[in-house]
Chain A
Amino acid sequence: MAKKEEDVKLLGFWASPFSGRVKMALKLKGVSYEYLEQDIVDKSALLLELNPVFKKVPVLVHEGKILAESHLILEYIDQTWKNNPILPQDPYEKAMARFWAKFVDEQVGPVCFKSVAKPDKGIEVAIEEGQELITFLEKELTGKDFFGGKTIGFLDLVAGSMIPFCIARGWEGMGINMIPEEKFPELNRWIKNLSDIEIVRECIPHREKQIEHMMKVAERIKLA
């Protein structure tokens, strides 16, 4: 049954990995939606009305229901549109996907960007600590095309939007290779696999524009 585009709205920001992963999920499920680009500095009345608690993107509106926080939006999308499952069926595999997704957003993201932008303990230490964290993910990928197995899943959407197409670009802007091939062959293979997927390519920000954006974010971090 075709759904009207107006049934689903997504408030997002072009450079946000959190918005990007929701776009990927909606495309994966073949869901049409109206996209509303947001200014995350000068926040719109609509954003503040729909997400008064966190005041952040993404926000998904589906048939009048309002959802915020990207992980739970992805789970909602997965449970609402059953084709192309995002989360594994097995409870243990599901728990692992959730665990690593939380790790990516709460540990890898902040540590790998803030500490490199403003290296209080020196840049070498910041790089070492960041790469230590992604080593856990390198191990998780061993022998797999994607974290989800043969096809992309929850953790691919979360880690993909955050790491190679966001944080790593920030490092690149600062002249550092975050995921060198010799240290991280599995992650490099995974990034190539991801890049071959049309849905992913369509939902990641433009490379040069994003590097420029990340450099501005780094400046704000340095001044804070």
Chain B
Amino acid sequence: MVTGDVKLIGSWASVFVMRARIALNLKSISYEFLQETFGSKSELLLKSNPVHKKMPVLIHADKPVCESNIIVQYIDEAWSSYGTSILPSLPYDRAIARFWAAYIDDKWFIALRSILTAQGEEEKKEAIAEVEERTEHLEKAFIECSNGKPFFNGDHIGFLDIALGSFLGWWRVVELDANHKLLDETKTPSLFKWAERFCNDPAVKPLMPDTANLAEFARKLFPKPQP
């Protein structure tokens, strides 16, 4: 195991940064959190992630690791004897977890974000329908992966729980913006209950942003056109 200090470049509002922080919490790793200022990028960020210039960046013993899901897997592997396993142990279960994580980032998240960027009511309705359809896929995925247990990963939160659960703050903000339930107890009951369990997990609770603060931040990030 590599020892050395741990830094994380990020922002309180970022879903992707939260993934890394949850993983570090699960392994009880102390780290220095370097909060980026909204609207500008620090020298350290640009130097550590010259390819994408984006957060999160984990810096462990002076070596940077980028891309949230890659960081989470790195944390699991570099500190494999600490805390609970983040990735499942069997190769097939890992593949399934990675598959749905890819679906969340490539398909589901894009649909969620398009509600915020929708121009006009028609576009918004279409975006909402798309999110609902894709969330139903995730409901099925949860039932298959959890196998009756409380989380996608079984008894403890893991890679796929983190991949989706880190969106819960923004999920609520988009619900408010759309004025429409996007995590519906009747349509996706398993996910609905999972969401509450996830948010109450000690590794997650201190990190989940306050909905009002996040909604205000969302207005800065996705300004509505003036009438």
Residues of A that sit less than 8 Å from B by CB: 53-54, 65, 67-69, 71-73, 75-76, 79-80, 91-92, 94-96, 98-99, 102-103, 107, 136
Contact = CB atoms under 8 A, between A and B. Distances in A.
Interface in B59-85: 60, 63, 65-67, 70-71, 73-74, 77-78
Contact of B102 (A72, A79, A95): A72
Contact of B65 (A72, A79, A95): A95
Contact of B78 (A76, A92, A107, A136): A92
B113 interface: no
B91 A76 contact: yes
B33 interface: no
Given A69-B102, A102-B67, A76 B94 contact: yes
A92 B2 contact: yes
A97 B115 CA distance: 34
B73 A95 contact: yes
B95 interface: yes
Contacts of B95: 67, 72-73, 75-76
22 contacts: A65-B92, A67-B95, A67-B99, A68-B99, A69-B102, A71-B98, A72-B95, A72-B98, A76-B94, A91-B74, A91-B78, A92-B2, A92-B65, A92-B74, A94-B74, A94-B77, A95-B65, A95-B71, A95-B77, A99-B70, A102-B67, A107-B51
Given A79-B91, A95-B74, A99-B67, 18 more contacts: A65-B92, A68-B99, A69-B98, A71-B98, A72-B95, A75-B91, A76-B94, A80-B91, A91-B2, A92-B2, A92-B60, A92-B74, A92-B78, A94-B74, A94-B77, A95-B65, A95-B71, A99-B65
B217 interface: no
A98 B70 contact: yes
Summarize B's interface: helix, strand, loop or mixed: helix
Summarize A's interface: helix, strand, loop or mixed: helix
Contacts of A79: 91, 94
B197 interface: no
B224 interface: no
B143 to A, nearest CB: 15
A40 B91 CA distance: 28
B3 to A, nearest CB: 13
A75 B98 contact: yes
A77 to B, nearest CB: 9
B137 interface: yes
B12 interface: no
Contacts of B91: 75-76, 79-80
A94 B70 CA distance: 9
Contacts of A53: 103, 107, 137
A92 B67 contact: no
Contacts of A71: 98
A92 B51 contact: no
A155 B77 CA distance: 19
Contacts of B137: 53
B82 to A, nearest CB: 13
Contacts of B51: 103, 107, 136
Contact of A102 (B60, B63, B70, B103): B70
Nearest to B66: A99
A69 B65 contact: no
Nearest to B61: A92
